Amino acid sequence: TGNHWGYGKEDGPSLWHRNYPVAQGSRQSPIDIIPHQAAHDHSLDAIILNYDHCTSINISNNGHSVVVEFDDSDDRSVIRGGPLDNAYRLKQFHFHWGGKGCHGSEHTVAGMSYASELHLVHWNAVKYKNFSEAATAPDGLVVLGIFLETGDDHRWLHVITDALYMVKYKGSLTDFKGFNPKCLLPSSLHYWTYLGSLTTPPLHESVTWIILKEPISVSEKQLGKFRMLLFTGEEEDQRIRMENNFRPPQPLKGRKVRSSN
């Protein structure tokens, strides 16, 4: 119906251009990052994450991913520095992942994909009055991408995976207070950055991507808990497991990827 989209054969990424022509635009995401082709830009400062007074509000299943939302009514949780001219407010974070034994990151590195990818979504509250307005502006959004690889248990990810049973079905939402995503960061904040888009419809070309080079480790068991989520709602007959909710890499179309040193 209407602008329904998904990750299946009938409604997946290769068909999104029918309702969202920008899918074939000049600054689409994700991309394959080729490290030795990235320009080392010594003018690129370190990124600064001020998440200390972070306030998560809820966790929900929007039928595409599991999303943790934040109170963005003031500048308490912001990202700044690096390639950014302003501070950008944290709005939400969510994940993308594969099926059992399959990889599910959106960005790839020299053709290699990771098991999963965490996206922390921020918006430019200096220049725009709300998230929706920022979401359609070329410098409106910043998404911080963090790769997840399978290995040891992540000591804090269980706080999220323990809550997933409460948001199994599309459209479910529950309180999720006091979670600070600082605990999900790797030790190094070295990054690649480029100009791109949302990786889901409406695919607005409004995102400055900042992708951390160092992945975090999570266990196969922890990752498996994401796959108990469903794309479908409680009232639907079909129960479709939420997995492989990633868009494949898109053409670079002449864009430059810069690397912090």
Q: How far apart are CA 84 and CA 81, in angstroms?
A: 5
Q: How far apart are CA 140 and CA 142, in angstroms?
A: 7
167 binds ligand MJT, rule: CB under 6 A:
no
Is the CB of 204 or the CB of 225 nearer to ligand MJT? 204
* Residue 26 CB neighbours (<10 A): 13
The site map against ligand MJT for 200-219 (x = CB under 6 A) is x------x------------
199 binds ligand MJT, rule: CB under 6 A:
yes
Select the binding partner of residue 193 from Zn ion, ligand MJT, none (C-beta < 5 to 8 A, by kind).
Answer: none
* Residue 13 CB neighbours (<10 A): 18
Is the CB of 119 or the CB of 154 nearer to Zn ion? 119
119 binds Zn ion, rule: CB under 5 A:
yes
DSSP letters, 45-110, are --EEEE-TT--EEEEEE-SSSEEEEE--SSTTSEEEETT-SS-EEEEEEEEEE-STT----SSEET
94 binds ligand MJT, rule: CB under 6 A:
yes
The two three-digit tokens of residue 189, written as one number? 């904040």
Is the CB of 62 or the CB of 180 nearer to ligand MJT? 62
Query: Contact, 221 vs 229, CB < 8 A?
Result: no
Task: Tell me how far CA of residue 248 lies from CA of 65, 229, 251, 255, in angstroms.
Answer: 16, 21, 10, 17
- Nearest alpha-carbon partner for 92 in 129, 65, 126, 53: 65
Options 3-11, 46-54, 57-65, 152-160: segment touching ligand MJT (CB under 6 A): 57-65
105 binds ligand MJT, rule: CB under 6 A:
no
One of 17, 36, 40, 64 is an active-site residue; which one?
64
Q: CB of residue 148 vs ligand MJT: minimum separation in angstroms?
A: 14
Select the binding partner of residue 59 from Zn ion, ligand MJT, none (C-beta < 5 to 8 A, by kind).
Answer: none
Q: CB of residue 40 vs Zn ion: minimum separation in angstroms?
A: 27
Is 64 annotated as catalytic? yes
Residue number closest to ligand MJT, CB atom:
198
170 binds ligand MJT, rule: CB under 6 A:
no
Q: Tell me the three state secondary structure of residue 227.
A: coil
Q: How far apart are CA 198 and CA 65, in angstroms?
A: 14
198 binds ligand MJT, rule: CB under 6 A:
yes
Q: How far apart are CA 174 and CA 212, in angstroms?
A: 29
Q: Which residues of the chain form contacts with ligand MJT (CB under 6 A)?
A: 62, 64-65, 94, 119, 121, 135, 141, 143, 198-200, 207
Q: Which residues of the chain form contacts with Zn ion (CB under 5 A)?
A: 119
Active site residue ranges: 64
